[in-house]
Structure 1
């Protein structure tokens, strides 16, 4: 039985957008007690549909037509006061980025209590008791401590659990989850998916789960809707859509998913470009009157080498130290001890002038290209300012920038535009072009494809493969996505709590992992049972 019925929904975009409508004439039902996954690339209209139901559309985006029937009401036609009463009460929402959705100035417990206050439920003491019970239900550790904590004091997975607690506070009939696991590592992602499934079954909640990850779909969905450019192109049971897709777009999306098959390793030179020896970095946090400081060993005696032309993948959960290693190599983080040898010279002992020269040879591509590009500078300046500062004549740097834009698959006309005028995948290509402008021997890519749709991710991975061959580049590829690592890397280094627990050829690590932690990471990959598993059983 349907608890929500969407009929002929059309949402108009403002003038000047890339198309007339964000969503065009879509129809679907959400049944009681089911998990409906809405799948599609960025810009497909899936999040816009959810925001329309919640009354959270941007001011310039308007509903042109359609109905959304829920408990005898058309959600789209309700006055704002009535819609506000339903929000959080009968319809809850989990947002993609909990740090943005949570109030940074309020304790977690107070934010859950605020939901009860906004809807006039329960007394003061009962509100706190219910908040504490919710914190326990969503599996947060040490509930009495968490209820007094601020969002910045929690990990990403813990913040997402707190968001889920807020969404469940009034036992809603519908839970909308908008990409709630996109930024999480595989083990935390698996825990959140299991939590949502358990809560859905316990409360009989209907869940509308928005995602671009078919591994998540395989793990959690009962039914699937596939959206493309504002239209529904395919709908059906999860089993049918995953295993017998009818629409070419669905087949293309599934084909873009990193395969479980491990490619043959590339031939690489024996000579190391980079050697890391016994690298260590410890952070001290907290401390104060009668409270000892807490030590966190971000890097704890890590050693490895990268050969010329090799791709070394560094994988691990959030907090494992993998990004800190990458930042220490380019000296964005100063290590406490250890050696970083570039062609045998220790970068930690170089004078400023020699360090500047060495830095040209090691460049970084960041996870969020929008945050790493200056929004006030045109792309040409973003690419050329490094080479110009290093002494390259301006005309030569500008000519190379145009050439590099074409190399990474962008039109030379992109040079005269600003970062906000590009998609996420295009900005990541610009970040790669900027790194290449310095003519490096080694590029460190820190979660460079983790936020991208599967089709865009596949394109960027193919670009990195091509650049590796064309420029004889070495790569350190930092990721929490083991399937992606298997497609690109020659060797894999697995990190946990600042330490290197396993390192070896991709085939050996994935087919015959030696460490329990590596086996747990592989088992946590969403949809691991859908198709061939990465690691052999046992």
Structure 2
């Protein structure tokens, strides 16, 4: 990571983009200025709504119609990008400036083969005619580390994993060897090992090609690993910028200091100083869940052992973390615990009673004691119901009188630190962190004894994530809750969990206290997971 002293490739000066009337602030971005040089990685950091993506889309000429820059200049190749018409911008996109988006599945055409989509980038610009274009596709697939390019080029996006789809997006962005690569949160939704692979890939290609990379992220671990310089945005303003080591280790602006202080630290989690382990509220013994698909005369039968002979115990009042990558079986365990899917073997002993063999009507009275907080509260909340109605629905279904259910819902909103006025508002009126608080309030409405949180903070900004984790810890102590906390983020697990089990291909490969799993991992898979955490050699201020 060595920045060069050349003239800037890209110079953004005084960029201002007003927001429509009635928005929560006047400007999406206001008087934002920064530059990107050849051979360097500039990380733009900030929370959701800070203006990071608006700045990137302004450079690409991809702002929605209701957002129009009112001032500023974006200088690239001796021209102001803000003055170019759509045809001129289209000529620059892909050829001179490439972009990698956060969600490749929404950016890729689901009905086109991935090789054809890469070739289309070249066709639009008339590059690599004839057989050279197909050869270039194979070269790019190999460059981004995808297996068996001759075969994979014929696959459709849904056949690829999330990490493979993101590699295809990188291949498309690099097809014409642009001078500038803009990457907008390209690793946010990926497992830690996949993220580490893609960060290394971007760094390797950037160094080999001498590109300038503008990398948008809210993850300071990623910043610590790849950035030459850092620019920090808050509510549309660029509040701090400078060399990465300066911003990370000696932040000047209070907002930057708060963001870094909110980064989960490697530590002893909730296990430090615990008294003797109490009796278990939940015992899982030899749990098995198998998925079967196919089996027709054209396709072989596919068997996946999603959960394979898994056993663990959750002591009363404790939090057990279940960590692992996508496909490890951790979310399937959560569904099994709440009887949202059937199981193929084993026992689920809740307060000594095996709930696994219970019929639906037998389990229904127990369901109130086991509740779930979902990853995406917006998808799990009915958009046509007010927040108050969603929270009160559970008590009403269990025979609680309407007035009492409403009073309980208002009390819960206060408990999760939301204003009581939220009762009459709809989910779309809240931020992601506020919706997650609503989801927690709804899960608590029936006074559960066990809470299952499935990736409940993975989509949140680091400071909002810290607030939700603190809220869960406070609620656990206040209400004597037991929790199963499912996550792919080991740093988060270490912060909130008393004990951790590590899942790999449906089986538990390691278990122990957070400090044991972090500092002395025994299993090779756990060692790879811990080793892949971004920012390994950087400690935020709170952990220093």
Report the TM-score, using the length of structure 1 for normalisation.
0.97
SS in 1 for 2:69: strand
Work out whether 1:236 is the aligned partner of 2:242: yes
Residue in structure 1 matched with residue 535 of structure 2 by the alignment:
527
Please point out which of 11, 32, 38 is paired with 1:26.
Answer: 32
Q: In the comparison of the two structures, how many residue pairs are matched? A: 533
Q: Following the alignment from structure 1 to structure 2, what is the Cα–Cα distance between the partners of residues 14 and 28?
A: 25
SS at match of 2:356: helix
Q: Does 1:248 align with 2:251?
A: no
Structure 1: unaligned runs, 5 residues or longer: 533-538
Instruction: Provide the rounded CA distance (Å) in 2 between the counterparts of 1:162 and 1:333.
Output: 34
Q: Is structure 2 residue 100 aligned with structure 1 residue 94? A: yes
Cα distance in 1 for residues equivalent to 2:374 and 2:191: 17
Please list the CA deviations of residues 54-110 of structure 1 after superposition, one character each: whole Å capped at 9, or x if unmatched. Answer: 111121112111110101221111000110111111111111111111111111111
Does residue 105 of structure 1 match 2:111? yes
Structure 2 CA distance for aligned equivalents of residues 168 and 325 of structure 1: 40
For 1:319 and 1:114, the matched residues in 2 are separated by 32
SS in 2 for 1:63: coil
Pairs within 5 Å for 1:398-477: 398-477=406-485
Match of 1:3 in 2: 9
Tell me, what secondary structure is at the counterpart of 1:279?
strand
The answer (yes or no) to whether the contact 1:313–1:492 under 8 Å persists in 2 is yes
Structure 1 position 142, deviation (Å): 2.2
Question: Counterpart in 2 of 1:510?
Answer: 518
SS of residue in 2 equivalent to 1:259? coil
Q: Please report how far the alpha carbon of residue 288 of structure 1 lies from its aligned counterpart in structure 2 after TM superposition.
A: 4.2
Cα offset for 1:353?
2.4
| 2:121 alignment partner, one of 100, 115, 120 | 115
Equivalent residue, structure 1, for 2:326: 318
SS of equivalent residue, structure 2 residue 516: helix
1:445 alignment partner, SS class: strand
Write the distance in 1 (CA, Å) between the matches of 2:297 and 2:62: 45
Partner of 1:202: 208
Contact 1:300 1:499 in 2 (8 A): yes
Query: 2:389: which partner in 1?
Result: 381
Whole-angstrom CA distance in 2 between matches of 1:359 and 1:127 = 58
Question: Is residue 487 of structure 1 aligned with residue 495 of structure 2?
Answer: yes
* Structure 1 Cα separation of the partners of residues 446 and 74 of structure 2: 53
Of stretches 1-10 and 136-145 in structure 1, the one that deviates more from structure 2 is 136-145
Distance in 1 (CA, whole Å) between partners of 2:70 and 2:506 is 53
Sort the Cα spacing of 1:256 and 1:363 in 2 relative to 1 into closer, same or farther, 3 A. same
Moved more, 359-368 or 140-149: 140-149
Structure 2 CA distance for partners of 1:344 and 1:178, relative to 1, 3 Å: same
Q: Give the alignment's Cα RMSD to 1 decimal.
A: 1.4
How far residue 463 of structure 1 moved from its aligned partner, in angstroms, is 0.1
Structure-2 residue corresponding to 1:53:
59
* Structure 1 stretches of 4+ moved >6 Å: none
1:287 is displaced (CA, Å) by: 4.8
- Per-residue deviation at 1:274? 1.0
Matches within 5 A, 1:318-337: 318-337=326-345
Aligned match for 1:342, one of 342, 346, 350: 350
Aligned residue in 1 for 2:279: 271
* TM-score normalised by the chain length of structure 2: 0.96
8 Å contact from structure 2 (residues 457, 465) kept in 1: yes
Distance in 2, matches of 1:124 and 1:434, equals 59
Higher mean C-alpha deviation, range 208-217 or range 382-391:
382-391
The corresponding residue for 1:191 is 197
Answer whether contact 1:268 1:307 (CA < 8 A) is retained.
Answer: no
Superposed CA offset, 1:287-334 (max 9, x none):
544542222211111111111101000011111111111111112221
Gap change, CA 1:37 and 1:286, over 3 Å in 2: farther
* 1:13 matched to 2:1: no
Shift in Å, 1:141:
1.6
Post-superposition offset of 1:348: 2.0
Alignment of 1:360-371 (within 5 A): 360-371=368-379
After superposition, the Cα gap between the structure-2 partners of 1:265 and 1:16, relative to the gap in structure 1 and judged at 3 Å, is farther
Give the aligned partner of residue 80 of structure 1.
Answer: 86
**Alignment deviations for residues 460-517 of structure 1 (CA, whole Å, 9 cap, x no partner):** 0100000001110001111111111111000000000110001122222222222111
Contact 1:268 1:308 in 2 (8 A): no
Contact 1:94 1:167 in 2 (8 A): yes
